[in-house]
Each structure stands twice: as C-alpha cells, then as structure tokens.
Amino acid sequence: MSAEPGTRTRALGMQARTLELFELHGIVEALLERGLRADRFNVFSERRRILRADLSELPTAYPYLLMIPQNEAETIMADRLADHAAIRSIHRSNRRRPAPCWS
C-alpha cells in the first residue's frame, strides 16, 4: 500500500454522509470545487436500465452523489492532513517551556 495518492479510482463517488463528515474537518469545499454533483442517475446493464436514482429530495445539505476521482479526493485529504500537522508543529513550538531546574 502506497502513501501516495493512487492513479486509478475505485469509487463511484461520495455520498451525503461522507460529505457531512468532511464538512466537520474543513475539506468539503475543496471537494465540491473539484467534483461533479449528480442528483439523478441511471444504472444500465446489458443496455437495459436496472436502476433510476433521484437523490435530490434527501434531507441533507448534500442531496447528490459527488463524482470525484479517488486520487483527487486523496490529494485533498493528504493536503489537509499536512496543513494540520504544520499547525500542530507551530502550536507546539510556541508553548512555553518550563524553566530548567538547577539544583
């Protein structure tokens, strides 16, 4: 397993609950900017429609499937983690250190 974002996608898109959780972590806007919103879609098999989905009436701020390549989503998440790590590092360096105790 690589720490780098993949080059292929393994997911169709992100659902409302995932976007709600990402909103709590401050990355939903970046995902929405790069993704495509699908509030209605059809699934076909052997040239026959087997499913018609309409998500537009879901009781959520995100009533759609966000179509975004997995590698782009991974890059956004990795960038957010890197920002968080940098902020924690700055915060730690600004803490007051106790004065040395010389006896």
- What are the 10-residue block averages of pLDDT along the chain, 103 residues in total? 63 92 93 96 96 96 95 89 64 56 55
Query: pTM for the full model?
Result: 0.70
Tokens 């968080």, residue located: 84
Residue 40 parent element (H or E): strand 40-45
Q: Running DSSP on this structure, what letter comes out for residue 94?
A: T
CB 16 within 8 A of CB 62: yes
CB 68 within 8 A of CB 35: yes
